[in-house]
């Protein structure tokens, strides 16, 4: 019974674990059931369907996702390592709730990594094209009023910045950070208010880089990130004044 799922959608999420060392055979698109389900739960978490802090009962989710308890625990393991879920011994898993210090740390890491990557970047690096794509995409989404799309484009712009450093491990780490940031965004309402003011600044940064002034670009990026941090912290304080 319970035949294997037809293995529908692929993740599009690069295999985080790093160290794809041998490289002998191409990374196969074969996905295990646990990974597929993890993808679904991840969506639920960052979309806000599963609210931060709430308890995830094993039995309930088994029923809901139509998988066995063992498989579900593998899913929990995956998402816990990604920082989206949190274990408490003998009490189960909870959706992790970003705190102020989480946000502060995320932006500290972002300034640390993105600014250095940008400062030492070569203007003709392929990552630049990906930055250009992201900026254009963001503008298109803004025209269409698709603010979730704007958010995705923003994240992909900054991921492209990190890729300027040409380090798979750094990029994979930054993917983690982005994921946590998405959790924060999910906690905050009003994506237009969140992402709207920052689209044009991305464009300016890119212009500086394309003109070969990577130093100036890095400075603008740092200012951008400091402003964004204050912005997010303010919005957070309004939503969860206690924490």
Partner DNA sequence: TACACAAAAATTGTTCAACACTCTGGACAG
Partner DNA sequence: CTGTCCAGAGTGTTGAACAATTTTTGTGTA
Q: Which of residues 60-79 bind DNA (CB under 7 A)?
A: 62, 66-71, 73-74
What is residue 196's DSSP assignment? G
Single residue of 33, 170, 199, 240 touching DNA by CB under 7 A = 33
Which of 109, 103, 79 is CA-nearest to residue 93? Answer: 79
Shortest distance, position 26 Cβ to DNA, whole Å: 12
23 binds, among DNA, a copy of itself, none (CB under 5 to 8 A by kind): a copy of itself
Identify the CA nearest to 135 among candidates 212, 229, 198: 198
**By C-beta, is 29 or 241 nearer to DNA?**
29
Q: 146: which 2 tokens?
A: 């698709």
Q: How far is the CB of 50 from DNA (least distance, A)?
A: 14
By CB under 8 A, residue 13 contacts a copy of itself = no
Q: Which of 104, 228, 127, 125 is nearest to 177 (CA)?
A: 104
Give the three-state DSSP class for 168.
helix
**Residue ranges in 90-119 that form contacts with DNA under rule CB under 7 A:** 90-93
In the complex, minimum distance from the CB of residue 74 to DNA, in angstroms, rounded to a whole number: 7
Burial classification of residue 210, based on how many CB atoms lie within 10 Å of its CB (0-12 exposed, 13-18 middle, 19 or more buried): middle
Q: Which residues bind DNA (CB under 7 A)?
A: 1-4, 30, 32-34, 55-59, 62, 66-71, 73-74, 87, 89-93
């Amino acid at each position: 019974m319970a035949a294997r799922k037809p293995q529908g959608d692929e993740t599009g999420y690069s295999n985080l674990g790093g160290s794809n060392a041998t490289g002998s055979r191409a990374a196969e698109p074969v996905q295990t059931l646990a990974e597929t389900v993890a993808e679904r739960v991840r969506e639920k978490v960052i979309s806000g369907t599963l609210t931060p802090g709430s308890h995830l009962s094993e039995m309930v989710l088994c029923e809901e996702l139509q998988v066995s308890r063992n498989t579900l625990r593998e899913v929990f393991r995956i998402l816990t390592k990604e920082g989206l879920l949190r274990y408490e011994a003998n009490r189960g898993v909870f959706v992790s709730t970003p705190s102020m210090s989480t946000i502060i740390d995320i932006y500290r890491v972002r300034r640390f990594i993105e600014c250095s990557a940008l400062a030492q970047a070569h203007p003709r690096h392929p990552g630049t094209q990906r930055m250009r794509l992201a900026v254009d995409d963001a503008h298109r989404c803004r025209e269409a009023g698709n603010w979730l799309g704007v958010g995705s484009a923003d994240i992909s712009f900054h991921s492209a910045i990190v890729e300027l450093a040409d380090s798979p491990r750094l990029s994979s780490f930054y993917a983690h950070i982005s994921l946590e940031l998405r959790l924060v965004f999910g906690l905050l309402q009003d994506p237009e208010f969140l992402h709207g003011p920052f689209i044009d600044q991305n464009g300016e940064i890119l212009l500086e880089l394309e003109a070969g002034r990577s130093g100036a670009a890095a400075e603008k990026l740092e200012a951008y990130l400091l402003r964004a941090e204050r912005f997010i912290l303010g919005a957070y304080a309004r939503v969860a004044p206690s924490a």
